[in-house]
Amino acid sequence: MFLSYPLLAALSGVFLAQFIKIPIHFITSREWKFSLFFSTGGMPSSHTATVVGLASAMGLSLGFRSNEFAISFVLAIIVMHDAMGIRRHAGYHAALLNQLATDFSNLLEIIKHPNPNNYATREKLKELLGHQPAEVFFGALLGFIIALILYPIYPF
């Protein structure tokens, strides 16, 4: 295997987090949605699992006082903050814009606009962009656990 331990921990984090979204969605909705493997948002945060897996692996392998751990830790904090803040609010904005477009289309239908279908058939904005704090927490927990599991079995 040519992957370094930190890279393997990070890639395992993103893969497992994306995979776990499918059965979690099934449990909550009784619907299999395999497209979640390639989507953003949802439980757990794959972005968080990736960067926390990377940072944890860096800390475990090089020491928690190393420069490499410091860099990966700061990156993890930025990614988690972004997932809960900017990206989540962009999703709220998308939901509001989608509702406004639907309302506008319905209004045009009511007043008999000559071509209301131009508004009703447009592509909706993606609403599930960011994460709730719990989704980020469980993504971080998953990333940390992956790094801990891989640490003793990965040859240095």
Question: Can you spell out the DSSP letters for 41-98?
Answer: SSSS-HHHHHHHHHHHHHHHHH-TTSHHHHHHHHHHHHHHHHHHTHHHHHHHHHHHHH
Q: Is the pLDDT of residue 2 over 70?
A: no
Q: What is the pLDDT of residue 132?
A: 80
Q: Is the pLDDT of residue 34 over 80?
A: yes
The model's pTM: 0.73
Mean pLDDT computed over 107-118: 61
More confident residue, 79 or 114: 79
**Region of poorest pLDDT, from 2-6, 12-16, 105-109, 136-140:** 105-109
Q: Is the pLDDT of residue 116 over 70?
A: no
Q: What is the per-residue pLDDT across 86-109, written as a single tens digit (0 to 9) for each? A: 766 666 666 777 677 777 766 666
Q: What is the pLDDT of residue 41?
A: 75
More confident residue, 114 or 76: 76
Region of 69 please: left (phi>0), alpha (psi -120 to 50) or beta.
Answer: alpha
Band of pLDDT at residue 63, cut at 50, 70 and 90: very high
